[in-house]
Chain A
Amino acid sequence: MNEQELHEAVSRLPKSIEPPRDLWPDISARIKVGPWRRWYWVPLAAAAVFVLVMIGRSIQPTAWDVTALAGRPLLGTHRLAASGRLRVGDWLQTDDSSRALVAVGRIGQVEVQPDTRVQLVVARADEHRLALAHGTIAAKVDAVPRLFFVETPAGTAIDLGCAYTLATDSLGKGVLHVTAGEVEFQTGLRSARVPLGALIQIRPTTGPGIPYVDDAPAPFVRALMTFDYEPRGTRARAIRTVLALARPQDALSLWHLLQRVDPSLRGLVYDRLATLVPPPPGVTRLGAIALHSRDLEGYWTTIQRIHFRMMALRGVRDVDPRTGRAVH
């Protein structure tokens, strides 16, 4: 092929290529506007943030305490014998025989497990942020939501008042397992809410998978992972399997699935979800299928309430997983 032929071939390329799927639902979800987006809130919000930042800076230490729990972790360029201070920008690295405990300002702590590398990114009263390059951390935080963040190569774990274990490799493949409260894991494009007793798989390009409870049946989990990470052609079968195997306890998975399936399949997912856990008053099928935030949030509140109740009473009392009421 000569230059002229190449030029002619290029000129025949279509200027427009339709996306293989409708991107509008995702775009629409990202541009939702409410009254808070009105312009006159901007200066007020900026002023409030400024005041918070100034207050935070004046009272908050800019370094966190670190204690060696085993071996001699590397803090910056020095081996940590007993304890030290992790400053913003510092890396803390453990090898296969060392562990460390990091105090998250005044709101919690993070155990840095072997073969792990973390960096302190922000240490302020209104934002506590670590970067987890690879390895495993166990975090425990006692604070209002959205004060503690952990960045991984695939996305960010946002604390909503909780305890959790987060593991990742250097490319971003990992697992988040929540043991108390709730964590949100998000990338620029996708997010997942993970309550206690649930976990998510995380992948570098696709981000958080659909959460599932830690006693979910293996075929159910496999089908979720096929839906999340396998080529699109295999998804229809995976969705059928998920819906067939779902129990009332798996409502949190279906709530996420509803928002990720093609629009044409949302009705199917919604109907199965509604069979397992009836929607609360005010939530409509039409609204949920259209992914209206009012309906989705209303439904989530119910699912979350039942889920927390079941977890709290696990081994103590039997709870109806469809309603959250104790069974006498």
Chain B
Amino acid sequence: MPPPDDLVARAQAGDQTAFRELYRQHAGRVYALCLRLTGDARDADERTQDVFVRLWDKLRSFRGESAFSSWLHRLAVNVVLNERRTTGRRERRVMPAEDPDNMAGAQHAAPLHLNIDLERAIADLPDGAREVFVLYDIEGYGHGEIAQLVGIAEGTSKAQLFRARRLLREKLER
């Protein structure tokens, strides 16, 4: 496997084979983020594509000031949140029942059913609460960053996180 820096440099030069390899390496991480932020498998499919199309357009602006994966992650968050701001629609809230395995991922340190229940519960959260919960508790962003990314006050971010955790605990106890 070529070193990541080499892949990025080649993709920046317009090499689609290198870009495809970048896709192979990062698709899982990006898809997981999109799936959790949107709470919907079909939206996640579309947003993941959007992220890589946007990446292709923006790749030249990557200067290596941070790790490529972090930069891509931030790009993905922006794509998903921008799409939500633009369309303002959330039509499908529930994960397709036929694909529970997709939600659980390939490697499980915890019992499978717990991951699936938790993923479903996260998907069922209200949009605002889910976004803050995913960004803070799963992706490790701070409230200040979340406030900037989502376009809310820091206090709102904290309140949404509190709400999300409470809703999740209630749901998982049922």
Contact = CB atoms under 8 A, between A and B. Distances in A.
Given A10-B137, A204-B91, A19 B165 contact: no
A77 interface: no
B60 to A, nearest CB: 9
B28 to A, nearest CB: 3
A28 B56 CA distance: 10
A19 B104 contact: no
B138 A10 contact: yes
Interface in B1-59: 14, 16, 19-20, 23-24, 27-29, 31-32, 35, 41-42, 44-46, 48-50, 52-53, 56
Interface in A1-47: 1-3, 6-7, 9-10, 12-21, 23-24, 26-28, 30-31, 33
Contact of A18 (B19, B49, B106): B106
B50 A23 contact: no
Nearest to B89: A204
Given A10-B138, A17-B102, A31 B165 contact: no
A188 interface: yes
B172 interface: yes
Residue among B41, B49, B52, B119 facing the most chain A CB atoms (10 A cut-off): B49
Interface residues of B, number: 48
Contacts of B173: 1
A328 to B, nearest CB: 49
B27 A18 contact: yes
Interface of A: prevailing SS: loop
B160 to A, nearest CB: 15
Interface in A230-244: 231-233
A301 interface: no
A17 B114 contact: no
A20 B52 contact: no
A205 interface: yes
B156 interface: no
B31 A19 contact: yes
Interface in A215-232: 231-232
A205 B92 contact: yes
B85 interface: no
A18 to B, nearest CB: 5
A189 B20 CA distance: 18
Contacts of B92: 205
Contacts of A15: 29, 32
A188 B53 CA distance: 11
Contact of A17 (B24, B42, B105): B105
Contact of A6 (B46, B115, B172): B172
Contacts of A9: 110, 114-115, 118, 172
A15 B172 CA distance: 21
Contacts of A188: 46, 50
Residue of B46, B50, B92, B109 with highest tally of chain A CB at under 10 A: B46
Contacts of B16: 28, 31, 33
A68 to B, nearest CB: 34
Nearest to A2: B169
Nearest to A206: B42
14 contacts: A1-B173, A3-B165, A6-B165, A9-B114, A12-B110, A12-B115, A14-B104, A18-B28, A18-B105, A19-B44, A20-B41, A23-B52, A24-B23, A231-B98
Given A20-B45, A232-B98, 12 more contacts: A13-B105, A14-B115, A17-B102, A20-B102, A21-B45, A23-B49, A23-B52, A26-B49, A28-B20, A33-B14, A188-B50, A205-B42
Interface of B: 14, 16, 19-20, 23-24, 27-29, 31-32, 35, 41-42, 44-46, 48-50, 52-53, 56, 91-92, 96, 98-99, 102-110, 114-115, 118-119, 137-138, 165, 168-169, 172-173
